[in-house]
Amino acid sequence: MAGEDEKGKGKARAAGGGPPKLDRRDLLMGLSTVPALGLFGYAWNKQRQYQQARAEAATAPPVAPADLQEINVALIGAGAQGQVLTEAMLRIPGLRFRAVCDIWTEYNQKRVVNTLKRFKHEVNGYEDYREMLDKEKAIDAVMIATPDFWHAQHTIDCLKAGKHVYCEKEMSNTLEGARSMVLAARDTGKLLQIGHQRRSNPRYIHCYEKLLTEAKLLGRIVTVYGQWNRGVTPDLGAPDRYVIPETRLTQYGFKDMHQFRNWRWYKGKGGGPIVDLGSHQIDIYSWFLGANPSHVMASGGQLYYDPKTHEWYDTVMVVYDYDTPLGPAKAYYQTQTTNGSQGYFENFMGDQGTLLISESEVNNAGSLYRDPNAPAWDEWIQKGYVSAPQLQEVKEKSDTGAIADVRESVAPDRHTVPVALRDPYHQPHLQNFFDTVRGKAKLNCPPEVAYETAVAVLKVNEAIEAGFRLSFKAEDFKI
């Protein structure tokens, strides 16, 4: 067992040959240089299974095998997010695109239709989703990536037309909208998955199921902080030859092309950065803490951009209170749009350890730190739940056979999350949705779960306006 009698074994064992007995130094020296963790356990197998499934999916012939029921899909909303979903779906076997709907027929609709045709999907383009639902009877599932203020109507109409729906977050720009979506899903019995895609990310699932729930590596989480920072960018524009006629914009609820392109900043259309960005991560706060917030206080402002075209807050700082099963906790979150330093991440801090994770592995590879007084993690390292610690000092002094020189000031051991996501970020969440359509899985983000997050997130803008701490009641999160 690792951890016992740690000193001076390396050389003797190496010289003696025979079956290697694993000691802590081997773990430190060996495993940290073998990212595959080939010796033991869970993570390796998990990663391998995941990669095999991926490889099988990738090598599957373009025509779905007989036992794979082909799903006819349509997309409503072919903007940036619709294109991200399309790219990910093109890598999932067994899907047949039938239709693409977008009111920007001259540009985004055309672009996505052309891409799909290159992949041999014979799709029809529509401006009006109702016409699409009328004509495309074969559609089984609809992907909705329209502006937030359209989500409820698009989702409900599709559900009532008998389609399963994958709808982007934020579920809706209003709680009434979100609530009506939950009820429509219940009434129709159709599936509704909301696009909080981290819920299906194998790295996040590993952290939740293995590191926090089973191994309890963080002990009791008392504080959390996270951020999504972005640098200054100009407002979104459009090529002037492809501007949408005003009558069409008005018909679909936009006062002009600027609002159509920048709806996220407008009240009554989107919710500003706290909803666009914060929602993803505040969703993880509740998931990992096992509780919805009890209180929220927030400060925000229109500090930088033209308030006439940026009606929502460009800078938001929030503090939530939680009553978790293990005790009270507080969580901080910030989003600002004037400096992208350190990008986005979530940092969970327990009395026994810390987990720093980001959806973007480039941004942050996922780090774990053990409190020096916490029980050793050797068991979890051996099981492959966490990587062996990365200890630069040990490597440099490897020929001494010592773990470290006692006089050294040693940085805390940094462990990493040994599960990688190789697919586009949204692919596992989409796969989970289609697997559920086929009756082979359970939704990772059903509308009831997304509703809880919408309650927590939409309240931030309310708290900023109020200027004081607001409280949640348990029944606020229930429908």
Q: Contact residues for another protein (CB under 8 A)?
A: 51, 55, 58-59, 62, 87, 90-91, 114-115, 118-119, 233-241, 361-362, 420-425
Q: Cβ 240 to another protein, closest distance in Å?
A: 6
Edge-to-edge strands, sheet with 327-336 = 414-416, 367-370, 353-357, 344-350, 221-229, 327-336, 315-324, 293-301, 470-471
| CB nearer another protein, residue 234 or residue 467 | 234
- For residue 211 the two structure tokens come to 């590191």
Q: Cβ 275 to another protein, closest distance in Å?
A: 21
Cα separation, 359 vs 197, in Å, equals 10
| Whether 269 contacts 173, CB under 8 Å | yes
Q: In 10 A of CB 89, how many CB atoms?
A: 23
| CB nearer another protein, residue 172 or residue 262 | 262
| CB nearer another protein, residue 430 or residue 455 | 430
User: In a 3-state reduction of DSSP, which class is residue 99?
Assistant: strand
Provide the CB-side half-sphere exposure for 435 (13 A, CA).
Answer: 14
Q: Cβ 25 to another protein, closest distance in Å?
A: 29
Q: Of the candidates 124, 177, 176, which has an alpha carbon nearest to the alpha carbon of residue 147?
A: 177
Q: Cβ 390 to another protein, closest distance in Å?
A: 17
Q: Cβ 91 to another protein, closest distance in Å?
A: 5
| CB nearer another protein, residue 368 or residue 457 | 368
Q: Cβ 90 to another protein, closest distance in Å?
A: 7
Cα separation, 236 vs 350, in Å, equals 41
Task: Say if strands 293-301 and 315-324 run parallel, antiparallel, or are unpaired.
Answer: antiparallel
Q: Cβ 74 to another protein, closest distance in Å?
A: 21
Residue 160 φ/ψ region, left for φ over 0, alpha for ψ in the -120 to 50 degree band, beta for the rest = alpha
| CB nearer another protein, residue 178 or residue 357 | 357
SS (H, E, C) 100-144: EECCCHHHHHHHHHHHHHHCCCCCEEECCHHHHHHHCCCCCEEEE
Cα separation, 268 vs 245, in Å, equals 21
| CB nearer another protein, residue 22 or residue 421 | 421
| CB nearer another protein, residue 415 or residue 426 | 426
Cα separation, 369 vs 354, in Å, equals 5
| CB nearer another protein, residue 91 or residue 96 | 91
| Whether 50 contacts 202, CB under 8 Å | yes
Q: Cβ 17 to another protein, closest distance in Å?
A: 30
| CB nearer another protein, residue 192 or residue 357 | 357
| Whether 282 contacts 333, CB under 8 Å | yes
| CB nearer another protein, residue 242 or residue 469 | 242
Q: Cβ 206 to another protein, closest distance in Å?
A: 15
- For residue 19 the two structure tokens come to 């079956």
Cα separation, 216 vs 112, in Å, equals 45
Q: Cβ 22 to another protein, closest distance in Å?
A: 27
